[in-house]
Structure 1
Amino acid sequence: MKTRYTALALCVLASMTVPGVCVQAGEQQQSAGLVEDSHWQVLNRIVYDNRDYKNGGRSNGARNAFKPRAERNGYAEELAYGLMASFQSGFTQGTVGFGVDAHSYIGVKLDSGGGRAGKSRLLALDKDGHARDSFSRTGAAAKVRLSSTVLKYGEQRTKNPIFSSSDTRLLPETTRGWLLTSSDLKDFALQAGHFTGGADRNSNSQNNDLVVNYANPDAKKGNALSFAGGTWKGIPALSLTAYAGRYEDNWKTYYLGSYYSLPVTTTGTLAFDLNLYHSKDYGQARAGEIDNTTWSLMVSYAQGNHKLGLGYQKVDGDTPFDYVNRGSIWLGNAMQLSDFNAPREASWQLKYDYDLGDLLLPGLNLTAAYTRGSGIDGSGMDQKGAYTWLGYGKGGKHWERDLMLRYTVQDGKAKGLAFSLRHDVHRSNKAQAELDTNQVRFAVEYPLGG
């Protein structure tokens, strides 16, 4: 991208008409140096994951997929240790600064097996479908900074509603490409990027295609995803976000989101979280005909240690709302076991959070959520598209119950040590594509940094 198109150039032009619209001193002007501003972090994580997929006959080969069909069952169990080391350098001093970020991830099997690896979640599998004893990957990205605009190229993690890296299992997801971020425009955080591949959470290789979540795995994928957008926070209680993305020869996606918090008493706050996506096929339309609008609204009220939320989500389209990268769905009803994103689906969620710090132990939190979806109808789907393999029927419905208890040590030598325990249940009828599942997950995390 040419320099004249950077946010810094936009900032200069804007300042000619609206004085003070831009940040007065860019971050690069405050650089202490490549080494002086560098920092590192090591995150230790142990995860136990147990998934009992009910009604084994509905697996369609998804569970224990490397075993003969007659021997498949609905049981998956893994225990693993993950070590995630990351390093972020500072920037060299001067008008333009240069630096590098790097990471190295290692996953180690503590307990699992071919029969229990099932629909693998934590560990990489060998060619026979057995969990590897260990797997690892390493990556790096070069970066350059002008004022408060940074261009980064290489293996990295992203976070935005169109293209976001997931870190909800043993190791994080990473992607390969370039990312431009800027805070040079006052009250704006801007991003643009172009990515061509990466690594899924349980991958032992960086050189993989982009991950698509719902399209048939055998369908021809696109080779790149591009996006641009940003967030405005000109008012403390309000943020507005807009993004546009394009998944090569498959679809274009547009996103609008807003978050607004309103104090209603001296200790109570009402908050509104709105997310809207619109996707439309384009180019070769390799996934078939797509015309999907999906939105969610979560209204929550926080009072003291309590927070109660009510959410609604609606899919308007004959295909499920699909996305690239595991974390690129910022809908309110995207839960642990289901995204509630099936064709024509409408879903409700009731959620309760309780900070147990005053009652039992500082840093202890409880979350409970119940979500119910109905009205699923896959009968209007493009029969030559990439989603017929999911088997959506007419009149599909399902529900999910999620419970999570999390404790984080607040001070002392073990500060940051975190424990989380969750139990999730999902049930559906035959017209809904996702599996009946019971899940228990226990995780321990301990960060070290410098």
Structure 2
Amino acid sequence: MYKSTLALAVAVGVLAQQANAAGFVEDSKLSVSSRTMYFDNDNRDGSNDNRESGQGFKLDYLSGFTEGTVGFGVDLQALWGIHLDGGKGSRPNATNSFFPSDSDGSAVHDWARIGGNAKARFSKTEAHFGSALAPNLPILVSNDGRLLPQTFEGGTIQSKEIDNLTLNAGQLTHAMGRASSNRTGLSVSGATQDSNKFQFAGGDWKVTKDLTLQYYYSNLEDFYKQHFLGLVHVYPIAEDQSFKTDLRYFDSSSDGKNGQTGYIFDNNKGFAKNKGEVDNKTWSAMFTYTLGGHAFLLGHQQIGDDGGFVWANQGGVTKDGTSNTSVEGNGGASFYLFTDSMINQFAKAGENTTFGQYSYDFARLGVPGLKTSVSYLRGDDIKSAKNGSSYHEWERDARIDYVIQEGTLKGLGASLRHGVYRGGGSEASDDQDQTRLIFNYTYSFM
């Protein structure tokens, strides 16, 4: 991390000489974001409950680009998390993803990290290099489900030279967890070894204004190769009605040392045809009917029988390569499936998940900024890792969000979320009830 910070400092020094160049300053943006969060995870068996609250601050400076055929710029980010309920409190001693742990299992008082990216632009192509990357792509999604966001280190490039076609490519080497000031290598669920090479390439083709096709390829060296195909189509029925189709397909296979000691994928603690190896095909379909402020969603997802779905997740590794992950706070990773829900993932081998959601936007009733939703997911036919039988699981989530639209507190948002998870077999995850109360506010200085 020191090398990337030094390189960034050099880049800032060079760019400072051009600070008066049109665009670099004029197009700059400076903002500070605040997030206050209460997190309550109640394990119904009475063990490893997690109840904590914290305050997070995120300062972002995004410069414009210098003049010339190739424009240069810099993005800087500072993150600071503060624990609001002192002492050990109610928190698990094992890996914790809300706040880093001290040596006695209690939460540290606060933690921080600084990162940034150097960037360049040529025509309609942009390249970013640094330690504050936050990709949001089908093959890698930066997680922002706790106090502060997960970020990545490496380089990315995005090109829009061809109309209606967006191309993305890059190589990432490290990740900074959402509750950690340290960086680690990249890995997968259950593995203790890491990889410093995650490569990806792909694109989104907007065939028409209503139809988008996607293809992406990614490779986490010594763990997996993954192909993704996607289709999104929106059919406008009437002025206030539409029908959206979203289809996704993943094909994941083993790479390099995967399956050897330390490079084992635990298949989301489920069945695997070849123990420790990645071998999965997953398809999913979601259909959404929108009528005024109402939105009705229904979908289905099928995880292949040979092994669970796989995604980049560094939760099992540490900065020094040890197995003590309790102090890192690097757990928690998102992925591009409809079933990446509040508590569970529904991504085990053989799992058939049917899900639905209803949401309403109260702007239609004269209350802009107020939205609510309720969803239900049920996964059946999960293959047992022990005896070849099957079991099931389900989750019910509800949330209400409000953002103040005007006045002194314009932009202040509040979100109340509650989830209930229940497993139908001895190999299912622990039954849990989870509540999150979140307050967000962003102030832009320029």
Shorter-chain TM band:
0.7 to 0.9
Q: Secondary structure at the match of 1:235?
A: coil
CA deviation string 1:361-394 (max 9, x = no partner):
2211111001000101144xxxxxxxxxxx7973
Indicate whether 1:278 and 2:266 are aligned. Answer: no
Task: Map 1:180-195 to 2 at 5 A.
Answer: 180-195=157-172
Indicate whether 1:312 and 2:300 are aligned. Answer: yes
**Which position in structure 2 is the counterpart of 1:36?**
26
Q: Secondary structure at the match of 1:264?
A: strand
Task: Report sequence identity in percent.
Answer: 35
Give how far 1:432 is off.
3.9
Match of 1:176 among 153, 156, 181: 153
Structure with more relative contact order (C-alpha pairs < 8 Å, separation 6 or more):
2
Q: Secondary structure at the match of 2:90?
A: helix
Give how far 1:397 is off.
0.6
**Which position in structure 1 is the counterpart of 2:359?**
353
**Which position in structure 1 is the counterpart of 2:420?**
425
Q: What is the total number of aligned residue pairs between the two structures?
A: 389
Give how far 1:433 is off.
3.6
Indicate whether 1:322 and 2:317 are aligned. Answer: no
Task: Map 1:214-233 to 2 at 5 A.
Answer: 215-218=189-192, 220-233=193-206
CA–CA separation in structure 1 for the residues paired with 2:226 and 2:249: 10
Give how far 1:232 is off.
1.1
Indicate whether 1:83 and 2:57 are aligned. Answer: yes
Give how far 1:121 is off.
3.1
Structure 2 runs not aligned, ≥5 long: 1-20, 265-275, 314-331
CA–CA separation in structure 1 for the residues paired with 2:44 and 2:86: 20
CA–CA separation in structure 1 for the residues paired with 2:394 and 2:191: 26
Indicate whether 1:334 and 2:311 are aligned. Answer: no
Work out whether residues 104 and 138 of structure 1, in 8 Å CA contact, stay in contact via their aligned partners in 2. Answer: yes
CA 1:42 to 1:312, structure 2 compared with 1: closer, same or farther past 3 Å? same
**Which position in structure 1 is the counterpart of 2:441?**
446
Work out whether residues 398 and 418 of structure 2, in 8 Å CA contact, stay in contact via their aligned partners in 1. Answer: yes
Work out whether residues 392 and 431 of structure 1, in 8 Å CA contact, stay in contact via their aligned partners in 2. Answer: no
Structure 1 runs not aligned, ≥5 long: 1-30, 57-72, 380-390
Match of 1:374 among 358, 380, 391: 380
CA–CA separation in structure 2 for the residues paired with 1:247 and 1:106: 30
**Which position in structure 1 is the counterpart of 2:176?**
199
CA–CA separation in structure 2 for the residues paired with 1:338 and 1:312: 16
With 415-424 and 330-339 compared, the bigger mean Cα shift is at: 330-339
State the AA in 2 paired with 1:139: G
State the AA in 1 paired with 2:184: N
Give how far 1:411 is off.
2.1
Q: Provide TM-score, normalisation by structure 1.
A: 0.83
Q: Provide TM-score, normalisation by structure 2.
A: 0.84
CA–CA separation in structure 1 for the residues paired with 2:167 and 2:86: 43
Q: Secondary structure at the match of 1:342?
A: coil
Q: Secondary structure at the match of 1:117?
A: coil
Work out whether residues 318 and 378 of structure 1, in 8 Å CA contact, stay in contact via their aligned partners in 2. Answer: no
Indicate whether 1:269 and 2:242 are aligned. Answer: yes
With 431-440 and 331-340 compared, the bigger mean Cα shift is at: 431-440
Task: Map 1:18-417 to 2 at 5 A.
Answer: 32-56=22-46, 73-111=47-85, 113-118=87-92, 120-155=96-131, 156-205=133-182, 207-210=183-186, 212=188, 215-218=189-192, 220-285=193-258, 286-287=263-264, 288-325=276-313, 326=332, 328-359=334-365, 361-379=367-385, 394-417=389-412
